[in-house]
Structure 1
Amino acid sequence: MRANLRDDLKTALKTRDRIAITALRSALAAIENAEAVAVDPPPPGAPEHNEHFAGSTTGLGAADVERRLLTEADLLSIVEKEMRERSVAAQEYERLGRDDHAERLRAEAEVLSRYLEPTV
């Protein structure tokens, strides 16, 4: 799914489809965020970590952490959540009389809904 999202983003960029660009970038960012490993805060009273801290490493890749691996079900869930958030926000904008924003959010939700439909 991620490859499809990226390929479709490239196409949207080429065709300057602002609705699709916004929706696809948001979905890809949500996926990237979900892959991030949570960082535990330092315990209270712990010294500040910097390049002078004993045992620290420096250089390219010194702070790299392997990212979480997401399943296809995880990806579907993330895209579905992004779509649902847009639909709920669209209803709120419509309630407030902001039909222009509501329409844009519904169009973005429609773009994302294509990735939730089973492929034949």
Structure 2
Amino acid sequence: MTTLKATLQDDLTAAIKARDELRSSTLRLTLSAITNEEVAGKSARELSDDEVQKVIAREAKKRREAAEAFAQGGRAEQAEREKAEGEVLAAYLPQQLSDEELSALVAEAVKEAVAGGAEGPRAMGAVMKIVNPKVAGRAEGGRVAAEVKRHLTG
């Protein structure tokens, strides 16, 4: 079975051969972020696919935030570039949950937490504990937290 990192490396080689500058530079940066993560600890190690996915998600989030910053700064060209890089990375991530799917998962978790005796401000943590494993990389933490708050105050 091919690892996610190996897939990224193969896709990078293909992008270089195809002279796809956007794709090759995005994958190159992402692979170096993965390598940095691998050598960050006390001893070098190979990341699992889940860990690689977390690095990709973090890189994709950086692109989204940079795109917003560039757009607000009136630098449309750079914003487009960041957005395009984010889309390249999104292809390697699990399909993101729609608002409806996320809302349904959160509603279920809220019921579960309340049934378990959680209420008030403490319910937030309890609900997050239940919903996070179900969401697992398919929605950003901030988006999940906002949805949980909406359900708890709603």
TM-score, scaled relative to structure 1: 0.72
Q: Whose RCO is larger (CA < 8 A, sep 6+)?
A: 1
- Return the match for 2:39 from 36, 44, 50: 36
What is the distance in 1 between the residues matched to 2:9 and 2:55?
15
What is the distance in 2 between the residues matched to 1:17 and 1:99?
21
Number of aligned residues = 92
Which consecutive residues of structure 2, in runs of 5 or more, have no partner in the other structure? 96-154
- Which structure has the greater CA radius of gyration? 1
Counterparts of 1:1-120 in structure 2 under 5 Å?
A: 1-38=4-41, 67-117=44-94
Amino acid aligned to 1:74: E
Which consecutive residues of structure 1, in runs of 5 or more, have no partner in the other structure? 40-65
RMSD: 1.4
Stretches of 4+ moved more than 3 A in 1?
A: none
Which structure has greater helix proportion? 2
What is the distance in 2 between the residues matched to 1:19 and 1:12?
9
TM-score, scaled relative to structure 2: 0.57
Conserved 8 A contact 1:37-1:68? no
What is the distance in 2 between the residues matched to 1:7 and 1:74?
19
